[in-house]
Amino acid sequence: MLAIQNYKDEVHVEPAMKMGDRFEGHIVQGHVDCIGEIQNIQNSGNSYDVYISVDKKFIPYIVPKGSITIDGVSLTVNDVDAESFRLTIIPITMKETLFKNYKKGTKVNIETDMFARYVAHIISHQKNTKLSWSDVDSISAIY
């Protein structure tokens, strides 16, 4: 898959966590899993609701309150629908990242939730095994 280049003289880069650092924030790898499209941006006064559509085959890897990366900006997902999801962006993030350039129809690079991908991969490779939610919790705790 080819990534979309949304930068003009700027790119968003967050410093990586160093070995031995305190573990906090989102865990992202820098991969592009799919391309999304901005469907709507609503200014709520103290925040912006950003709606992004994706191919529905990627929806299982986009988790409410889970991590997602949009063009290198790691964020938390608010809501997930059948073919889209909603982010809430605070004003400083809107001003200081590539989000300030986005409008309806903008294509964006998306890295889905790493843990959702891992759990889906593990479950899809189980043979004749019925997993309970307790099993899924145990598996996700490993990662």
Same domain, 42 and 84: yes
Domain co-membership, 38 together with 108? yes
User: In the prediction, which pLDDT does 17 show?
Assistant: 67
3-state DSSP assignment of residue 16? coil
The count of structural domains within the chain is 2
Q: Let me know: does 50 contact 93? Beta carbons within 8 Å.
A: no
Which residue range is the domain that position 128 belongs to? 118-143
> Do the beta carbons of residue 7 and residue 85 sit within 8 Å?
no
Asked whether the beta carbons of 16 and 27 are under 8 A apart, the reply is: no
Q: Is residue 99 domain-shared with residue 143, that is, in the same domain? A: no
Q: What are the pLDDT tens digits along the chain (143 aa)?
A: 555 555 566 666 666 667 777 766 666 666 788 999 999 999 999 999 999 999 999 999 899 998 899 988 889 999 999 999 999 999 999 998 889 999 999 999 999 887 778 777 777 777 666 767 787 777 777 76
Give dist(CA 92, CA 129) in Å, integer.
47
Instruction: Report the b/e string of 84-97 with b at 16+ CB within 10 A.
Output: bbbbbbeeebbeeb
Q: Are residues 94 and 124 in the same domain?
A: no
Long-range contacts of 13-17 (CB under 8 A, 24+ apart): 13/72, 14/72, 14/73, 14/74
Q: Does 40 share its domain with 94?
A: yes
**Residue 66 is part of a domain; what is its CATH number?**
2.40.30.20
**pTM across the whole model:** 0.75
- Is residue 21 included in any domain, yes or no? no
Tell me, yes or no, whether 24 lies in a domain.
no
pLDDT of residue 25: 62
Instruction: Supply the pLDDT for residue 43.
Output: 95
Chain position carrying tokens 């964006």: 108
